[in-house]
Amino acid sequence: MKDPARPVGGSRSVRPPYPHPSGARPPAIPAEFVPRHVALVMDGDGRWAKHRGLPRTEGHKEGESSLLDVIMGAIELGIPYLSAYAFSTENWRRSPDEVRFLMGFNRDVIHRRRDLLLEMGVKIRWAGRRRRLWRSVIKELEDAERMSAGNSVLTLQFCVNYGGRAEIADAAAAIAAEVAAGRLRADKVDEKLLARYLDEPEIPDVDLFVRSSGEHRMSNFLLWQSYYAEFVFLDTLWPDFDRRHLWHACEIYASRDRRYGGAVPNPVPGPAPSPVPNPAPSPVPGPLPGSAASFP
């Protein structure tokens, strides 16, 4: 039986996400309270494997299906941008065996899942440094970017060999080169201009930053873009994470009051009205002069 599809933009159709095995459906969050951009730190693979007496690599393998399920949940809820932290600039400090595994695993995940993501209307973008990254990984990322360029259901920013500080430093270096070449005046450099030199300047700032596994830190992920993000830290290890956890984080996000540094004045009650004094009782008149009561 052919999979059902729905039209997008009138020119092509996309495969709808597979339903969750439990039958769970996304929460009824009003569209204006759905985060536009969710950043996802997929943490806990190693601990998940350790608890089961398995090598760390088995946790990474299990986490692949978690990411795919979360992508489907993001589409169901109507989230337009999702950023996944796949390999950081600090991950090179891990053992050579684990680094080799992660390089090959990230390459193979992109290749293995690419066609399904394309069918679901996912646009894939890559953020990160080229240096040290395997050429085969770069090729898969660039092929996925090219093949998915026309999609618009959800933009998946795959962050491989990425670091927030590295991204900002690279942007600053590019601006400095422009200034040195005389193509840019130093006094014209501001936050808006610097943002244009980041890896993916067309992707909006992060609204919701979600981290699995119970750790409470950013780990150098999308530092610039998360300057006013709402943070939700969940205790679930990444291989046990699915779209229902994403939806729960979005419900928490929708319940928060985002003020961006502004504030509504506190309602202060006005001064209490002065009590109206009781009128003084009229004095009881004494005996009138000449009246009978005035005589002894």
The Cβ of residue 72 has, within 10 Å, a number of other Cβ atoms equal to 23
Identity of residue 274: S
Compute CA 102 distance to the chain's CA centroid, rounded to the nearest angstrom. 23
Q: Which residues pair with 159 in a beta bridge?
A: 85, 127
- Mark out the alpha helices in the chain (DSSP H runs): 45-51, 56-77, 96-119, 135-147, 164-180, 191-195, 243-254
Query: DSSP for 228-256?
Result: T-EEEE--S-GGG--HHHHHHHHHHHHTS
Compute CA 281 distance to the chain's CA centroid, rounded to the nearest angstrom. 72
Q: How many CA atoms lie within 13 A of 131 on its CB side?
A: 5
Residue with tokens 């999308």: 222
Name the 3-class secondary structure at 143. helix
Q: Are strands 6-8 and 37-41 parallel, antiparallel or unpaired?
A: unpaired
Greatest CA span in the chain, whole angstroms?
Answer: 127
Cα separation of 223 and 220, whole Å? 6
Catalytic site residues? 43, 91
> Are 195 and 201 a contacting pair, CB within 8 Å?
yes
